[in-house]
Chains A and B, each alone.
Chain A
Amino acid sequence: MFFKKKKYNTYSDEDLMKSIQRGKSPAFDELYHRYSSKLYFFFYKMLWQNEAKANDFTQELFLKIIENPKSFDARQRFSTWIYTIANNLCKNEYRKKNNQQKAYDQHQLLQTATTTYTEIDFDKIVFETDLMAALMQLPETHRACFILRYKDELAVKEISKILNCPEGTVKSRLFSATQKLRKNLKKHQESYID
């Protein structure tokens, strides 16, 4: 009666962060539920579809929230803040990774994408696989823009803040990414458009 259970699922992300700052464990659970999959997918795609790295980075990111929740300024949007950290983590990882290894990974991915195209099946599942492979062929900046816009459904303005670039650049990258994907998924399009 006196201790009415709070419904954290009705809270905004920013309010959840305020509760986390006060040490409310259920608020953290709710926030993890909302963002863990999105962030995991973001890391997975941005870090060469490496599952282990995606798990490590997801954990590292949420640990940052636990360790220093007051670094979040409630005046800004939580999604912008969390994706900015995620993007910075990826950038650091790119720096660590040497170019040779990166080139090898890219080559491997291209191989995977090509082999997939040989077994063309106009099924949605196959398209999904191809789309993921095609995404990996995009430059990192374009890929990040595309995922944040169409997977995480963030506004262009917000993406520009996360990636620290003008809105025009974001739109340009999105258009460029869409054109490249169209080229890579051309065989799918013929059936899909029909």
Chain B
Amino acid sequence: MKNIQELLENKSFEALTEQERNSVLSVVSMSEYKEMYAVLQQSKTAFNQVNARPNPLIKQNLNNQFREKNRSGISLLSWLMIPIPLWMILLSLGILGSLFYYFNANQKTPVPIIQKEIEQVFVYKTDTIYLEKIIPTPKIKKKTRSETKKVLPKKETLRTNPPIAESSIDPSFLMEQALTYYDSSAIQRAQEQSLGQKARTDIPKIEVTVR
């Protein structure tokens, strides 16, 4: 069957080979084959001449439908259905973020109201404390060469004798002893009394005078 239909479509009985003829003749007669071949050829020609066309109004209707459908599609769903790549979304988010940051940075930020904490500081009226201390002075031993004799002064003349003794202490030492001393305990006490007062550069000065 398969071969015969293919042969019918392409070859007339005369164009068949010996083998093909034998194959064909085993199914249909020569005249039948010729008639079938003729029907097919004639049918093909007839089909080509057929000029069947649908009603022209159909085309018009379809065009209207097509326009209507695509117009409504663009306005609503098609915009929502457009696929957007991920990088585009990220880029747009980045741009929005940077714009937001830029405009926020340019705005004047409200200055925070800082209340100055006023510390209560107790200040002494006198920042210098005078302490009186009795510092025992070293005893000065006088060296004598000889025992002093009781000399009765003469009435007539009083003459000045040369010094008979000298101090063993260096006078410069004595001078140094007279300098100002700082009493550390007094300073500490003053600081404790100041109650949180910051360390001051003008530490209370304690002068000690030796009398």
Contact = CB atoms under 8 A, between A and B. Distances in A.
Whether chains A and B associate is yes
Interface of A: 23, 25, 28-29, 32, 36-37, 40-41, 44, 54-55, 58-59, 62-63, 66-67, 124, 127-128, 131, 146, 150-151, 168, 171-172, 174-175, 178-179, 181-182, 185-186, 188-189, 192-193
A58 B54 CA distance: 8
A25 B35 contact: no
Most buried by A among B5, B8, B35, B39: B39
Contacts of A54: 52, 54
Contacts of B36: 178-179, 182
B45 interface: yes
A139 to B, nearest CB: 17
Interface in B155-199: none
B74 interface: yes
A40 B42 contact: no
A25 B46 contact: no
Given A193-B35, A193-B38, 20 more contacts: A36-B54, A44-B52, A55-B55, A66-B62, A128-B49, A131-B43, A146-B43, A150-B40, A151-B50, A172-B1, A175-B1, A178-B8, A178-B36, A178-B39, A178-B40, A179-B32, A185-B39, A189-B35, A189-B38, A192-B42
B53 A168 contact: no
Given A23-B73, A37-B52, A193-B38, A171 B5 contact: yes
A28 B67 CA distance: 11
A127 B42 contact: yes
A66 B39 contact: no
A189 B35 CA distance: 6
Contact of A63 (B49, B50, B62): B62
Interface residues of B, number: 37
Contacts of A174: 5
Contact of A32 (B1, B35, B62): B62
B55 A151 contact: no
B59 interface: yes
23 contacts: A23-B74, A32-B59, A32-B62, A37-B53, A37-B54, A40-B52, A40-B53, A41-B50, A58-B54, A59-B58, A66-B65, A124-B46, A127-B42, A131-B43, A151-B50, A171-B1, A172-B1, A182-B35, A182-B36, A182-B39, A186-B35, A189-B35, A192-B38
